Structure 1
Amino acid sequence: MGAVRKGLADAVRDRTPSLNCFGYVPDSVPEPCFYAGEVDITFDRTFGRGLDEIEVTCRLLVSRADDRSGQAALDRYLAGSGPHSVKAALVAARGAPGEPALGGLCDDLHLMRVQAYRMYEVGQVLYYGAELVVRVIGRG
């Protein structure tokens, strides 16, 4: 599990170096920040431990120093394409058709949705942010 979360963070960092990326929930948030957070696991999607499915809830947090510029920065990272797009970084991490994703850590992954676009509090600091739910499938 830890390797998959780290792989997601590394994939985003490789394509979006302006983001501080973590495969774990950091104690403090160096902004802008992407991290892999909560994990939900569905075991045995196929017989004989053939396939497990994981949903990783990642968070993307940016500064709220200025309401308009903070939300504009968040929007750039949440765009479907472009140099700041987290979605584009995760699509690239899928690899070529027929190849495993995340450098062999899983069979495939898919950014399913963005949710909870709102203010987040970490410690006593407020950030603009959103959750990105990533579906990962692989052998059990």
Structure 2
Amino acid sequence: MQISLVRDAIADAATAVVLPAGIGKLTCSGFTPDSVVAPHFFVAEYTQDFDKAMRRALDELEFTCRVLVSRADDRASQRVLDGMLSGSGSASLKVAIEAARGAPGEFALGGLAHDLHVMRMQGYRWYEHEGAQYVGAELIVKVIGDGKS
């Protein structure tokens, strides 16, 4: 798998999120940005397990993705974040990202991977990014694909 392309494809999938009126559009990047325009989703660190099948047939990656929301109003910010962390609905990052799995029998992320799955949410807390405070959380996204490409 081409890691940078996979990261960008996850971020592109996240752009399908529809936030409540007045919030603005979710900005997304496939890398850890120097600064963010909140609300912002980005693909940060990852781990990679090689050789999950013989002859480099399968690698497994777990991407730690973060979503940060402005804390202008603590309660309202957390409600927006909760919507994005929900397992369903138009604001759900899980729904948006997993839509990039493709139809049954198709490769995920436009052919970049065999499959993906948003496994869990963790780290719901205050984050500091480039000197600014945000409320945010992490999503762990598992991606499996060909280890030879």
Q: How does the TM-score come out when normalised to structure 1?
A: 0.97
> What does residue range 71-110 of structure 1 map to in structure 2 within 5 Å?
71-110=78-117
Matched residue, 2:124: 117
Alignment size in residue pairs: 139
- Residue by residue over 1:15-45, the C-alpha shift from the partner in whole angstroms, topping out at 9 and shown as x without a partner, is 1262100000000010000000001000000
Deviation at 1:98, TM superposition (A): 1.0
> What does residue range 46-57 of structure 1 map to in structure 2 within 5 Å?
46-57=53-64
| Unpaired runs of at least 5, structure 1 | none
> What does residue range 39-78 of structure 1 map to in structure 2 within 5 Å?
39-78=46-85
User: What residue identity is the alignment partner of 1:4?
Assistant: V
Matched residue, 2:17: 16
Structure 2 residue 40 is the aligned partner of structure 1 residue 37: no
> For 2:103, what is the secondary structure of its paired residue?
coil
| Unpaired runs of at least 5, structure 2 | 19-24
User: What residue identity is the alignment partner of 1:101?
Assistant: A
Matched residue, 2:22: none
Matched-pair identity in %: 55
Large movers: runs of 4+ above 4 Å: none
Structure 2 residue 32 is the aligned partner of structure 1 residue 25: yes
User: What residue identity is the alignment partner of 1:16?
Assistant: V
RMSD: 0.8
